[in-house]
Structure 1
Amino acid sequence: MPSPIPATRLLPKDMFPCLDIGTCSSPLTKHPVGTHLQVPVQRLHGKTASRLWSTVIYWKEVRALLPVGSGGFGSVYKAQYLGETVALKRVKKSTKNKLASRQSFWAELNAAHLRHPNVVRVIAATTCVPPDFGDEGSIGTVLMEFVGDENLQQIISDGAQPLGEDRWLRYAADIARGLRFLHAHCVVHLDIKPANVLLSSGDVCKIADFGCSLKLDRGCEVSAISPRVSHVGGTYTHRAPELLKGQALSPAADVYSFGITLWQLMTREQPYTGDRQHVLYAVVAHNLRPSVRDHPVFRSERGPACRSALARCWSAEGRCRPAADELLPLLETLRAPR
């Protein structure tokens, strides 16, 4: 089943605070009741721990929570942890859909065991919060590396910042590398969009916010969406037609979203205007896509190559879209002749 934790185990009986009141554990590994989950402290640049991320958070080491942003299922804070800057995400309860908000928390951990320069790194996660950090509306907390204060949507919207060919191609290549890595490990993100791509101080893109993600069955074969996996969705402007229709999903859904994101990098515009329901219907029924006619990039010498690449990425049929490992060669075809 394409879920990090089956829905029947979202609140398992063996979820309990550790004996050390400074730490709390999440039920990602079975362990007998009454024992302490032994996970070494993971220094960010210190000694190597026995695993890539921790199921305990040493709350006494958390300092200075500063709000950074919020979304449908959570709020993100900038904090200090073990002497380093981190991002702390609290996944909140949804009064309208409690199951979806719980699944969103577990989905955040789908890529926790993976490490790649273009994917935000998870440091620790827990479902237990001590009283002095308490938030009655919170389901769980995820500690991640702090990438920076900007995302791609902000860069696109900020007309004062240049976004020439070399820069948008480099950003697109970063996203493509991240997707290639995720798909190779059978993780589909399902909410690729500029706002979910963070920029580091070194101007490197990192894919963030895995709250809609799924871990596919072994072999990355297409998996049908279970009625109990209710958090699948993402942002409607970037959502693949097969997801809008409630059909089976595959990594090709991320490639569709990548195509919409690539168009935004090229044009610095929003994909659609008008009523949400009209857009949803038109994408499915009339093959509506962002315009590839009016912007200067499509009237230039490389315009035909840009239109062709986008058409492949956002094809209505997932099987007609390029795989993630084909995206980098595809981007090379978009470079203007020198």
Structure 2
Amino acid sequence: MLFTQQQPSSPAAPPPPTMPSPIPVTRLLPRDIYPCQSSGPTAESPAGSGPRWSTGRSCAPSSRWAPEGSALCTGRSTSGETVALKRVKKCTKNKLASRQSFWAELNAAHLRHTNIVRVLAATTCVPAGFGDDSSIGTILMEFVGSRNLQQIIYGCAELLWDERWPRYSTDIAHGLRFLHSHSVVHLDIKPANVLVSSQDVCKIADFGCSVKLDRGCEVSAHLSHVGGTYTHRAPELLKGEGVSPKADIFSFGITLWQLITREQPYTGDRQHVLYAVVAHNLRPCVQQHPAFLSEQGRLCRTLLSRCWSAEGRCRPSAQELLPHLEQLRSQM
């Protein structure tokens, strides 16, 4: 199956690259898609004519949520649905990594879950009006909203303790359980990659670092490169060992700590942190932290210590996390 759309033949231009894709060809983006600010039927795509997308005046990429190495813009379908267009940029220093990141974005494209950002379609053709030719492709996703957990934790005065952070963390765990049940490991769980909808529901986004495990395998072969964010990266990944769903549980533990404390997990030089996490079992502070002195805090402390255990086999699965998180919610 080819992922790219057919280009008009030209004797002077080489044929476009073709790469396999998990997305059916019938769901590829039309060539004339534009990020737009207008909505409604167009002459080329009247109402009720199927899954076509409106064209219109292009807009600047959004800064509300745009993962590193990408640009994001919103648009509307002819049915009036707001969608998000994500352009995956090329990396001039590592073209292979750029291509791998683009295809990794599609590891969860066939999955549908309340706590996962839904991928609608994708193409290696860059829509006109959506920037220059510095991108490797475009991904069409559901538009969740303009907030992520990073912004909520560090950028606003909203209270998180009461019942919100247990609910948010439960949403993330539900999303991870679903991904892991389909052999997808995200590998970059952190607050910035968790979007929060207008209904206050968390959805896991940005699969550019993800890995699809072989059917029946709990651990993948060693990867030549592992992306993700160093503050949330599991120690086995830092040591170059195999990838498993337990790497996401470690990252979840750091994210949960951030939700509870609203602080940064580490300070100091990056290389020092990386070395200390592996060699000296460095973890965010819980022993004397005020947030962990109550009865609920002690339960959280125990759960965190399991999530960020140095040995992946000692960490709970996402399925095993959920009863503990529900217990915390019931005590709030």
Q: TM-score, normalised by structure 1?
A: 0.83
2:270 to 249, 267, 276: 276
Amino acid paired to 1:55: L
Amino acid paired to 2:143: F
Closer, same or farther: CA 295–336 of 1 in aligned 2, 3 Å: farther
Contact persistence 2:166–2:325 (CA under 8 A): yes
Contact persistence 2:144–2:197 (CA under 8 A): yes
Amino acid paired to 1:96: K
Amino acid paired to 1:177: H
Q: Within 1, Cα distance between the matches of 2:199 and 2:135? A: 33
Residue 109 of structure 2 corresponds to residue 92 of structure 1:
no
Pairwise CA distance, 1:277? 0.5
Closer, same or farther: CA 285–132 of 1 in aligned 2, 3 Å: same
Contact persistence 2:5–2:28 (CA under 8 A): no
Closer, same or farther: CA 170–130 of 1 in aligned 2, 3 Å: closer
Pairwise CA distance, 1:18? 5.2
1:300 to 288, 294, 302: 294
Q: Within 1, Cα distance between the matches of 2:199 and 2:17? A: 34
Residue equivalent to 2:20: 28
Residue equivalent to 1:17: 6
* Deviations, residues 62-108 of structure 1 (Å, cap 9, x unaligned): 44434223333211112223332111110111111111111000000
Pairwise CA distance, 1:205? 0.3
Closer, same or farther: CA 19–95 of 1 in aligned 2, 3 Å: closer
Instruction: Tell me the matched-pair count.
Output: 301
1:66-85 counterparts in 2 under 5 A? Answer: 66-69=60-63, 70-82=66-78, 83-85=80-82
Amino acid paired to 1:174: D
1:1-338 counterparts in 2 under 5 A? Answer: 15-17=4-6, 27-28=19-20, 39=26, 54-57=27-30, 59-60=32-33, 61-63=54-56, 64-69=58-63, 70-82=66-78, 83-129=80-126, 131-133=128-130, 135-227=132-224, 230=225, 232-335=226-329, 337=331
Closer, same or farther: CA 134–26 of 1 in aligned 2, 3 Å: farther
Amino acid paired to 2:107: N
Contact persistence 1:187–1:216 (CA under 8 A): yes
Structure 2: 5+ residue stretches without partners: 10-15, 34-53
The root-mean-square deviation of aligned C-alpha atoms, in Å, is: 2.5
* Deviations, residues 239-290 of structure 1 (Å, cap 9, x unaligned): 0001111111100000000000000111011100111110000000000000
Contact persistence 2:32–2:128 (CA under 8 A): no
Q: Within 1, Cα distance between the matches of 2:268 and 2:205? A: 28
Amino acid paired to 1:165: D
Structure 1: 5+ residue stretches without partners: 6-11, 31-36, 40-53
Q: Within 2, Cα distance between the matches of 1:38 and 1:307? A: 48
Amino acid paired to 1:28: P
Pairwise CA distance, 1:233? 1.8
Q: Within 2, Cα distance between the matches of 1:19 and 1:144? A: 27
Q: Within 1, Cα distance between the matches of 2:214 and 2:159? A: 42
Q: Within 2, Cα distance between the matches of 1:157 and 1:110? A: 30
Q: Within 1, Cα distance between the matches of 2:297 and 2:95? A: 46
Q: Within 1, Cα distance between the matches of 2:205 and 2:331? A: 33
Contact persistence 1:25–1:57 (CA under 8 A): no
Pairwise CA distance, 1:294? 3.5
Report SS of the residue matched to 1:65. Answer: coil
Identity %: 65
